[in-house]
Structure 1
Amino acid sequence: MTARITVVTGTGTGVGKTIATAALAVRARRHGSVTVVKPVQTGIGPGHPDERADVDVVHALAECATQEYTCLPDPLAPDTAARLLGLDLPPVSEYADRIRVLAEFEQQVIVEGSGGLLVRLDHDGGTLLDLSAELSATHEVDVLVVVSPGLGTLNHTELTVNALRTRGLEPRGLLIGAWPSDPGLAEKCNLLDLPRGTGVPVLARIPDGAGELTASAFADAVDGWFTESRS
């Protein structure tokens, strides 16, 4: 069995990647086994008692298996957070190897990145873009980009999509990570302009606050956020 691998990246920090990842995991779980992988988590540990790891949020909402490979306490880019503590980070190639092994036992693996696409995940400059490209050499990889709905999103989204295309990776779709209950003019226009400017469809609008739902309510609502049926 060879798993389909989905990589979830974002146009930056705080755009709703984790909740979007949970939504994807709920849908994937209906078709078989799924594990969500967070290669690197930052901002968790001593000194941050109120913060929850992204895999814990996903597990609570999607009730699926999760794995976290590296965790660092400071809320910084992984390379920076590790250097401040004098710690070594595994190279991106090691994360790719672990994900490939996992893919031998699962029907789908969903990989959630840290911050944006070009955030450094190791000390050699390896990024989620590099990880995605490496995985695509051996597996079918779908890349989904989580975007914000408001001002600035068009520029950030086009930069992210263009960076993926430079490595031969065509994103499957955009997910709006926190769609407001009362969208303004910018949000309404961006809903049309995001696919027009990037050539990539908007596959979902995930409501702002969806992460506060119970697991059962989240699962019941998730299909209504997507514009197509493919998980």
Structure 2
Amino acid sequence: MAVIVVTGTGTEVGKTVVTAAVAAAFRAQGRSVAVVKPTQTGIAAGEDGDVAEVVRLGGDVTGVELARFPEPLAPATAARRAKMAAVRPGDVVEAVEKLAAEHDLVLVEGAGGLLVRLDEDGATLADVARLLAAPVIVVVAAGLGTLNTTALTAEALRARKLEQLGVVVGSWPGEPDLAERCNLADLPEAAGAPLLGAVPERAGSLAPSEFRARAGSWLAPPLGGVWDAETFGAAVR
């Protein structure tokens, strides 16, 4: 599995921290890792973006950002308003293939959700995954509403015949409420795919050394960790 695409059910669900955790878990196994961010919006030139955060937390990781646009909008809209060239799926594939030739794993972190438009032709991260023939991790929220958005994303993946590797809760609360505890059991059914991890809230605020040491305990073996959904679920019920 040389390439994994990381998407989410929306914005602010924890994609970047999950990407960093996966990178750290595989780095702990001695594997070389690269991360590609096709587009970063709402960030000015010179500011640290998501790639810098993955590198800061994940450790010795190669980071590549293909484009950034100043306004916090969907990539296609942000590119159009900035009068800048949009990033197209072929651009992403070219960058990923070069990195895959030199790394054991390449993570492609999308912006927003799976079907956010990348360009004026309506291309999305789903098109990138299709061209790469890469499995997809879906980062999901913990609370109310997550079952619906998870099911919708899973349906979109199935409609495009894309492999969903599994789902990861991007920010698991220290004191989960009833809905969050119930959602933990219901998410695999909503997704039609296994639950592959739960990253604790505010994990991104940990010191990088502690983040790297703990990352594997948040993720299941397919993502380089030792986390077990059944054991975790029993502990929080």
- Shared fold by TM > 0.5? yes
Q: Hey, what does 2:130 align to over in structure 1?
A: 133
Matched, 1:57 2:53: yes
> Which amino acid counterpart does residue 159 of structure 1 have in structure 2?
L
Q: Distance in 2 between matches of 1:122 and 1:168?
A: 22
Q: 1:190 to 1:80 in 2, by over 3 A?
A: same
Say whether 1:71 aligns with 2:91: no
User: Aligned to 1:115, what secondary structure does the other structure show?
Assistant: strand
2:106 alignment counterpart: 109
1:200 lines up with 2:196 in the alignment: no
TM-score (norm 1): 0.92
The Cα of 1:228 is off from its aligned counterpart by 3.4
Change (3 A) 1:224 1:160: same
1: CA distance between counterparts of 2:100 and 2:219?
A: 25
Which residue of the partner structure matches residue 96 of structure 1? 93
Match of 2:12 in 1: 14
1:179 aligns with 2:172: yes
The residue number in structure 2 matching 1:154 is 147
Distance 2:71 2:111 in 1: 13
- Moved beyond 6 Å, runs of 4+: none
Paired residues, what number?
222
Which structure 2 segments of 5+ residues have no match? 225-237
Gaps of 5+ in 1: none
TM-score (norm 2): 0.89
The whole-number CA distance in structure 2 between the counterparts of 1:142 and 1:27 is 18
Residue 118 of structure 1 deviates from its aligned partner by: 0.3
Partner residue in 1 for 2:120 = 123
Per-residue deviation at 1:52? 3.6
Contact 1:91-1:123 at 8 Å conserved across structures? no
* SS of residue in 1 equivalent to 2:113: coil
Q: Does 1:218 align with 2:211?
A: yes
Counting aligned pairs with the same residue, the percent is 47
